[in-house]
């Protein structure tokens, strides 16, 4: 099975109630990892509150002990908790945002994992979309070079129109990668956002091809696969057609509970991957 499966774990208490299968703290990771491995998940995706949460000296032996891989590391707390944006017109604040992500790249890279740029991309500022995009391109370029230096991709996630007006479709990230000119820039395709923005999810994945670096496996309602109306079979067929061999990571609400979300994710993965 070349496609791997993972679930999301949030360590930031500020996102309690957000679309993560598990919410815990560093002390809770050991029993949680044991549970994930027992169920058959090969990976875990972590949403830290600060870069210090991704401590290689702590996480590496813990992951190895449970036979898990770190699928990816989220940076969303940079915006949700610390109000940092990579497109901020204030140069000092923008530099803080870049440093927040850079620190995560260094720590995640030591664990063989990429980082995600999602909500930290921001929205258009009063000076207009193009100046905002110019600042985002500059930041992404810096962070892509940092990612390449640690042998990882920089996963850039298009968001739906209700969350951002900068990068909404997979093709927008592919275009950004071309404009930045850094091979490390890769697409994170979140099926929830794609259900809103893409005319044909499978076609968008086929067009993305080798630029696809990560997938967030979520149904149309941000629940686990099978709880909404997204047709998953054509999506997995497209992933296999382009030779995708990364993770499909469940970034979903734990409803009706975390166990149900995990079992639905495993069922989809086993049946279609």
Catalytic residue positions?
Answer: 157, 251
Q: How many CA atoms lie within 13 A of 254 on its CB side?
A: 16
What's the rounded Cα separation, in Å, for the pair 243 and 121?
A: 28
Residue pair 72/115 in contact (Cβ under 8 Å)? The answer is: yes
Beta strands in the chain (DSSP E): 4-10, 22-23, 43-47, 69-73, 115-117, 154-156, 185-190, 212-216, 247-250
Estimate to the nearest angstrom the gap between the alpha carbon of 216 and the chain centroid: 7
Q: Is the peptide bond before 20 cis (omega within 30 degrees of 0)?
A: no
User: Percentages helix, strand, coil for the chain, rounded to the nearest 5?
Assistant: 50, 15, 35
Other C-beta atoms closer than 10 Å to the C-beta of 25 total: 12
Which is nearest to 114 in space by CA: 84, 141, 150?
A: 150
Tokens at residue 132, please? 């905002």
Other C-beta atoms closer than 10 Å to the C-beta of 177 total: 20
Other C-beta atoms closer than 10 Å to the C-beta of 79 total: 18
Which is nearest to 36 in space by CA: 262, 269, 268?
A: 262
């Amino acid at each position: 099975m070349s496609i791997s499966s993972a679930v999301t774990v949030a360590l930031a208490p500020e996102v309690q109630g957000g679309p993560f299968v598990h919410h815990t703290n560093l002390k809770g990771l050991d029993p949680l990892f044991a549970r994930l491995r027992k169920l058959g998940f090969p990976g875990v995706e972590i949403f830290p509150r600060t870069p210090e949460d991704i401590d290689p000296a702590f996480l590496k032996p813990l992951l190895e002990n449970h036979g898990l891989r770190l699928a990816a590391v989220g940076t969303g707390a940079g915006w949700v908790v610390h109000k940092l944006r990579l497109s901020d017109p204030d140069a000092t604040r923008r530099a803080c945002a870049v440093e927040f992500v850079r620190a995560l790249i260094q720590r995640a890279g030591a664990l063989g994992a990429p980082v995600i740029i999602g909500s930290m991309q921001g929205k258009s500022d009063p000076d207009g979309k193009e100046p905002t995009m110019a600042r985002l391109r500059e930041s992404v370029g810096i962070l892509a070079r940092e990612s390449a230096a640690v042998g990882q991709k920089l996963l850039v996630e298009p968001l739906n129109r209700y969350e951002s007006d900068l990068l909404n479709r997979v093709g927008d990230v592919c275009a950004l990668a071309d404009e930045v000119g850094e091979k490390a820039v890769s697409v994170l395709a979140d099926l929830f956002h794609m259900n809103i923005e893409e005319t044909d999810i499978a076609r968008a994945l086929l067009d993305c091809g080798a630029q696809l670096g990560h997938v967030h496996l979520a149904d149309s309602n941000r629940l686990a696969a099978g709880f909404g109306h997204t047709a998953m079979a054509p999506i997995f067929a497209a992933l296999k057609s382009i030779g995708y061999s990364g993770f499909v990571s469940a970034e979903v609400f734990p409803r009706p509970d975390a166990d149900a979300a995990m079992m639905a994710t495993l069922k989809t993965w086993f049946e279609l991957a």
